[in-house]
Amino acid sequence: MKNKICFKLLVILFLIFSIQSCESKEPEKTSKLWVEAKSSKTEPLDVLDDANSSVSYSRRNAITNAVKKCSAAIVGINVSSYVELTRRDPFDIFYDDPMFRHFFGNRGRRTQKYEIQGLGSGFLISPDGYILTNHHVAGNASKIIVTTTDGKKYDAEIVGADKTSDVCLLKINVKNFPYLKLANSDDVITGEWAIAFGNPFGLFDLNAHPTVTVGVVSNTGVNLIQDDRVYKNMIQTDAAISSGNSGGPLVNALGEVMAINTIIFSTAQSQRGAGSIGIGFAIPINRVKEIVDELKEKKTIDRDFYHGMEVREIDEQIQKYLNIEKSDGVIVFSIERNSPANDAKIEPGDIILEIDGMKILRQDDFLINVLDARKGQKLNLKLLRDGKEINTVLTLKSRKKR
């Protein structure tokens, strides 16, 4: 009898200490804003393997457990912003005439402000109200309303935002809130389960519950440039992501955040937005980790720099002219005087083969590696000049004001 009682006590204690949820308790004291999931640093990846393999065993499985674990930390975001539009008078060409202005006044162009409303998703990464979302969701907003899963609405402030990486850090005034832990996105495997949470088409406003879609990781390491934003090492998924899902988390079968849902390729367009055709991309969370603490401290990332050179892809015509066999790399077409490129002794005709060890195969590779840098950063370039490889260091600087 005593043995049975002891056994039951041990089972109860094991369950108490092993149950992992979206903790509302204070995270361990650390200099970092976010909390790293244990499975990404101490536990073997077998834990995640077991979770993925359990999906087909029962109705309640790793996916339903992850949904239950994460849902309370998802938020819907509604934003308002203002844009100025200039209306041009049809007689605008006459307003340069002093006589015309004398009779009709100086009313050639009028500027009006318009309010634009938008929506998106986000998720809490700390119990005291820090929220991650995309810059294109809230980075330029004048007013931000965050709705939590208990139906309450909060005014949010922008702590920091970075357009280039498309990351935005918000803050609401709460305590002891559920939050999500961040995985190690370098360990993501193509084909593993992926669960997307969000607010597609504003559905979060109907019942304060996030929409959940499930798919797999379709690809990793995808590089894209869109609207002056650098999407580096993106995680592709076929979990349905639609307009309004931006800023929500993409989690693994343990409920740990792998990435932030961000952009989609879609042929399904309407006035309400774009629908999923199974091609979505999310910012890997390791990239976000590098940015979020800097945003909290500095509010922005200083990318006010220039390099001072024009580069072009190597086409067949350039190949023939330079008598080179391979088209890898980009060719330096021109150099500005007294520019960082000039200081690095880069010359027109040089072919850039690598930047910081990353191969440059096309112009987008060059832009992704350069635009993602910071002012003052030193880039190690491998060049091809006169058939010989040489190395140089390019220091990115602000353009001198005249």
Show which residues are catalytic: 136, 166, 246
Q: What crossing angle do the helices spanning 46-53 and 62-70 adopt, rounded to 10°?
A: 110
C-alpha separations of 90 from 106, 141, 354 in Å? 13, 32, 52
Q: Which tokens belong to 303?
A: 């990318």
CA–CA separation, 336 vs 288, rounded Å? 34
Q: How many CB atoms lie within 10 A of CB 342?
A: 15
- In whole angstroms, what is the distance from residue 329 CA to residue 373 CA? 19
In a 13 Å sphere around the CA of 170, the CA atoms on its Cβ side amount to 35
> Read out DSSP for 308-360?
-EEEEE--HHHHHHHT-S---SEEEEEE-TTSHHHHTT--TT-EEEEETTEE-
User: Residues in the chain, how many?
Assistant: 402
Distance CA 265, CA 267 (A): 7
